[in-house]
Amino acid sequence: MSVVALPIVSAADAVLSLRGSFCPGCRGRKKPKQTVCFECYSKLSRPQRQNLYKRVGSGYEAAVASALQTLGVETLECK
């Protein structure tokens, strides 16, 4: 059994991604101030979705890392 590390998400990258209009899960369009698009959001478990409402610096970065891992994304791109 292999262990898969969570992507590392910094507070700065999390904020840049929130401001962006591209979903880090599928690179489709998303609304600013949302972590991922609706399609990717619906693939997450309920606890993961709830954790995405945490504040930056108070668990949000870890929530994003967990969501990205579920969505099969290795790194958070902030473009």
Tokens of 42: 């619906």
With CA atoms as reference, report the closest residue to 31 among 45, 42, 20, 43: 20
- Provide the whole-model pTM: 0.86
φ, ψ at 29 (rounded to 5°): -80, 145
Tens-place pLDDT, residues 11-58: 998 899 899 999 999 999 999 999 999 999 999 999 999 999 999 999
Q: Is 16 helix (H, G, I), strand (E, B) or coil?
A: helix
The residue behind tokens 């489709």 is 28
Give CA–CA dist 8/1, Å, rounded: 22
Give CA–CA dist 40/43, Å, rounded: 5
Q: Looking at the predicted structure, is the pLDDT value of residue 6 above 90?
A: no
Task: State the pLDDT confidence band at 74, using cuts at 50, 70 and 90.
Answer: confident
